Amino acid sequence: MGGVEADTRCHKPRTTNYLYYLLKLVADGYLRRTAITRPILTDDQQDLLDATINEWKDACNISSRIGWDAGETRKTHLQDLAYNEVREETRLGSQHAILATHQAAAALDGVEAIEDLDEHYKTSQPEFTSNTVKYDTRTMTLFDDGSVSLSTVDGRIRCDLNLPDGDDGYQHEYLTDDEWEVTESTLSKRDGEYYLHLGFRKDKPEKQVEQQGDDEDRTVLGVDLGIVNIATTSTAYFASGRELRHQHREFERIRGNLQQTGTQSAHRTIQQMSGRESRYLRDQLHQVANQILEEARTHDCEFIAFENLKHIRERAPPVKEFHQWAHRQVVDLVEYKADAEGISVEFVDPKNTSRRCPECGHTSDGNRVRQAEFECESCGATQNADYVGAKNVGWRYVRRGLQSSRRTGDSQLALKSGTVTPNRGFVPSD
């Protein structure tokens, strides 16, 4: 996926987004992950890789031209059309020549998909300009001693990988676990540095709900997405949004001042700041997603229930766009991580989840005393408003399960100190 994204930069960003969407829909039965590391290279090895990258770009552009002229986007068919010319015009080996034709086919197929989506959207022949080259198991070999062998335009080179000491780095999870097998990977050069994006895959675990029969109890974790707290779970985990909001406002303030300056130096500083902001926000939201998954694991949940984000967009004013974005990121990260755990992510209509009392069921606008406080007008129960929302989101999915004619088990909502079911009420944890 990274190769297509990097190499079709002649198109608008939405091309990449749509390709990513298409790729997400492909259910091939594998979990896929990427581990990024840096090869330790001599000057001679760098020269060989530079030459290989240049030849790779030429090979992809040759294949792109041939496929564009012939209207061909199928990998094997474009390989038949372009392979001989690629071998004649470049110094790439046979397997790299094949990979280049496949890379061009993928880019051309993406262009065709955009044309099918919007007939008025003008597309052009993909041009490969980024300093990358694709590798597979025939052109790259990983060794147990932490080194790698890479094919170049003049034989193979072997070098060490710059890996964290011991087992501290996440890369070791994929390098040492036999369940993960190496797949297509990408070498890239950026700002004079070389990076190896190692691709791995393993069989997807069965969803926990598929392993159970319809007569099994199933446990649901409810998650509320809010402003004061970015995320709150029915097990009383609160992910405060205060620091995120503060940092975002600071970045916006400094960015605005620099934009008023209008100098080239200010523009470069804005670009550097944007990178720092993206890394900071990504790290913080990863931590939130990880904690939500930890709550699900700790309480043996087979489901994580979120409110449908469509409703967030409809009810939130434009000033809350940052929070909408953060919520979308959290949900995407949880879906991605839950897939590896065999946990299902589901969505419910959030209507009245902030106004319904989880104790007696009374629903009223008056129950919401203020942004962070909930007090039921009927039974007098008082709780944190976000916590109420999380319980109601999870409870709505529990109730949905009761409506299934195939279900004979008793679904339950995970709480901090136990579970609650429609039939048995609250059950404390052991």
Distance CA 59, CA 88 (A): 10
pLDDT at 145 over 80: yes
CA–CA distance, 365 with 356 (Å, rounded to integer): 9
The one-letter amino acid at 370: R
Residue 105 to residues 17, 137, 273, 415, Cα–Cα distance (Å): 18, 20, 36, 50
Q: Topology of domain 206-426, per CATH?
A: Nucleotidyltransferase; domain 5 (3.30.420)
Based on the number of CB atoms within 10 Å of its own CB, is 179 exposed (0-12), middle (13-18) or buried (19 or more)? Answer: exposed
In this prediction, residues 212-220 reach a mean pLDDT of 63
The set of residues, in sequence order, having a beta carbon less than 8 Å from that of 119 and lying 6+ positions away, is: none
**Tens of pLDDT along 300-336?**
898 999 988 765 555 555 446 777 888 888 998 898 8
Hey, where are the domains in the chain?
A: 28-201, 206-426
If pLDDT is split at 50, 70 and 90, which confidence band does 12 have? very low
pLDDT-wise least confident of 115-124, 243-252, 387-396, 402-411: 402-411
Report how far residue 71's alpha carbon sits from residue 390's, in angstroms, rounded to the nearest whole number: 51
Rg, Å, the chain Cα set: 26
- The set of residues, in sequence order, having a beta carbon less than 8 Å from that of 283 and lying 6+ positions away, is none
What would the two tokens of residue 21 be? Answer: 């969407």
Indicate the average pLDDT of the chain.
80
Averaged over 199-214, what is the pLDDT? 65
Poorest-pLDDT segment among 20-34, 134-148, 167-181: 20-34
Residue 156 confidence (pLDDT): 96
Q: Residue 88 CA to chain centroid, in angstroms?
A: 39
Task: Give this prediction's pTM.
Answer: 0.56
Identify the H or E element spanning 222. Answer: strand 219-225
